[in-house]
Amino acid sequence: MRVEKPSPVRIVEQKTVWKRFIHLSTLVLEQVRQDGRVERLDREVHDHGAAAAVLLVDRARQTVILVRQFRPGAFLGGHADGFLLEVPAGLLDDDSPQEAIGREAMEETGYAVRDLRHVFDMFASPGTLTERVSCFAAHIDATRRQGEGGGVDGEGEGEDIEVVEMPIDEAYGLVSTGGIVDAKTIMLLQWLMLHRGTFG
């Protein structure tokens, strides 16, 4: 039987400094270091909820469905025009990861997922972000879209999403040339490289 050790970190103080789409908090922590000393840490943490992402694979056509959309963080971070190629993804909004990713795939691409498989969970930037992303792979028939896709064009959403179908090998190549720089998308494509014989 595994015995859980108490955490060496304790929250001394937590304050909300901003809350709209994101929730920004300041934390004062005490950490017991490996040498036994207690160190006080001041940190900022950004929280806007858990999320899910999915790699859509058409086995017959040997293609994947990606989306291209504007990302202000990438734009301010120096990425050309700020438009990134990504797998469909979105916040859970109180749904289970499986429910949320079915909804997001339909909203963003118009495709209904099948053979949905949970492949891993990940934290993209755990030093400052609480966001935990549940990552999935699913099969679709790229010749049959059940919806329009393109995202939600409502107040506060403002999504303008381009749906992109490309050969699996071309997507792999874009990772190495810098055409795909989104972390969750790179991880899911690498998962597919390892499991193409059984999934792709």
- The CATH superfamily assigned to 51-195 is Nucleoside Triphosphate Pyrophosphohydrolase (3.90.79.10)
pLDDT at 154: 56
Strand (E) positions, the chain? 9-19, 23-32, 38-47, 51-58, 63-70, 83-86, 89-91, 114-123, 132-139, 162-167
| Alpha-carbon distance values, 190 to 76, 99, 168, 184, 200 (Å) | 27, 24, 11, 10, 12
Q: pLDDT tens, 100-124?
A: 999 999 999 999 999 999 999 999 8
Q: Where are the domains of the chain?
A: 9-47, 51-195
pLDDT one-digit tens code per residue, 37-61: 999 999 999 998 899 999 999 999 9
Most confidently modeled of 35-49, 72-86, 137-151, 165-179? 165-179
Distances, alpha carbon 87 to alpha carbons 7, 9, 39, 45, in Å: 35, 35, 40, 25
Q: Cα 33 to chain center, whole Å?
A: 32
Mean pLDDT of 158-175: 93
